[in-house]
Every structure is written in C-alpha cells, then in structure tokens.
C-alpha cells in the first residue's frame, strides 16, 4: 500500500512496527461543521427529562465502552440525575452486553434514573445532545471515537477515560476532562464537579 491513514498519534504508534512509518498519515477525525443546537429545556421536555440533570453516553453500545462503570454509580447520584444511554447494539455480543446493562439497572433499582434510547437517527442527535448536561465516554479501550467528535461539535461538556486518543484531544484543545480509566470514584468525582 502507498499510504495508510489513521486519525490519532496513538493509532500511528500501534502501526509503526507493522507498516513503514513513512507510509502512515494522520488525518484527524471529522466533526459536524455547523451542528444544529437546540433549546436545552425544550429538548429535555421532548425526552421526558425536564428538570433533570442529564448525563449521556452517546454512541453504539459495546463492552469496551464501559457503560457498566456509570451504571454502577447511579445509586450514588441524586434523584434528579438521569443517565441516557443513547445508542443501540450492532452485534450479537453487543446485544448481550446491552441486556447485561439493563439487568444491572434493575438489580440496583435505578430504572427511573437510566433511560435507554437505542439507536439515534442523525436527525435526532441534536435533540439528545442539546438535552445533555455532561457527556461521558468511560471507555476501557479504543483507538478513536467518532462519538467524541460529534459530542464536542455540539459544545457538550465531556468527561472521558484517560486513554491515548482522548489525551491527544485534551492536550491539543483542552476540551475534555479525563478520569482514571476504570476508576469509578474518579469518574464520579469528575462528573459531579
């Protein structure tokens, strides 16, 4: 191959030992240029979340995105906090994980506090993100996230796991708050501050 395109320095590092370094080009992931931003209270009303503090995990549901970390914390949040899981499963494995998350919600008795929206069509993305007070990407492992670019283009305050790709965003643009990967206490602290 002549050129391999990656979105992050971290991805380039992964490929360095496999592909000649001179063939790897970094082109940052795209984002919406002029996202539609809507009235926060109107969007919360549409989603049935008026007068609630909305935390959103946006994007397809997969185990490596660690939705379970935030669900484990839901009993600690005040009664006016709602977690919106804004994304559906794509594979059979993802479907099992989504089922696991729903069982966990029931086990903790936080059904009122967690809303599963399933797949979000593009025209509904502005409604969900405009209603969001803070987006959380508690990922365990990922080389790039399209979701973070969509979220940030909508100017939503964002908390992410301290992974190489998110550190790059923090270092270059200082527009995310990082928490220690898999550390529930640090995640709770960062989301509530």
- The residue among 29 and 95 whose pLDDT is bigger is 95
Q: What is the pLDDT of residue 33?
A: 73
Note the helical H segments in the chain: 9-15, 40-46, 67-73, 92-108, 125-131, 146-153, 164-173, 184-192
Span 130-172, pLDDT tens digits: 999 999 999 998 877 889 989 999 999 999 999 988 998 899 8
Q: Is 55 exposed, middle or buried (0-12, 13-18, 19+ CB in 10 A)?
A: buried
Tokens coding 166 = 């998110």
pTM of the model: 0.87
Closest CA relative to residue 64, chosen from 22, 29, 93: 93
Closest CA relative to residue 82, chosen from 33, 128, 139, 42: 128
Span 43-76, pLDDT tens digits: 999 999 999 999 999 999 999 999 999 999 999 9
pLDDT tops 70 at residue 7 = no
Strand bridging mode 24-26 / 4-6: parallel
């Amino acid at each position: 191959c002549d050129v391999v395109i990656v979105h992050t320095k971290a991805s380039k590092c992964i490929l360095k030992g496999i592909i000649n370094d001179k063939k790897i080009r970094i082109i940052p992931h795209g984002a919406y240029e002029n996202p539609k931003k809507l009235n926060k209270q109107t969007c919360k009303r549409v989603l049935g979340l008026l007068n609630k503090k909305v935390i959103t995990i946006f994007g397809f549901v997969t185990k490596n995105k660690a939705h379970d970390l935030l669900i484990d914390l839901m009993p600690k949040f005040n009664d006016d906090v709602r977690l919106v899981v804004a994304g559906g499963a794509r594979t059979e494995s993802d479907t099992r994980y989504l089922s696991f998350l729903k069982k966990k919600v029931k086990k903790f008795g936080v059904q009122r506090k967690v809303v599963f929206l399933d797949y979000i069509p593009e025209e509904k993305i502005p409604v969900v993100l405009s209603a969001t007070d803070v987006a959380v990407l508690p990922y365990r492992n990922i080389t790039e996230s399209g979701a973070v670019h969509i979220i940030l283009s909508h100017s939503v305050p964002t908390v992410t796991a301290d992974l190489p790709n998110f550190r790059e965003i923090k270092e270059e643009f200082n527009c995310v708050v990082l928490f220690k990967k898999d550390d529930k206490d640090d995640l709770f602290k960062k989301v509530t501050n």
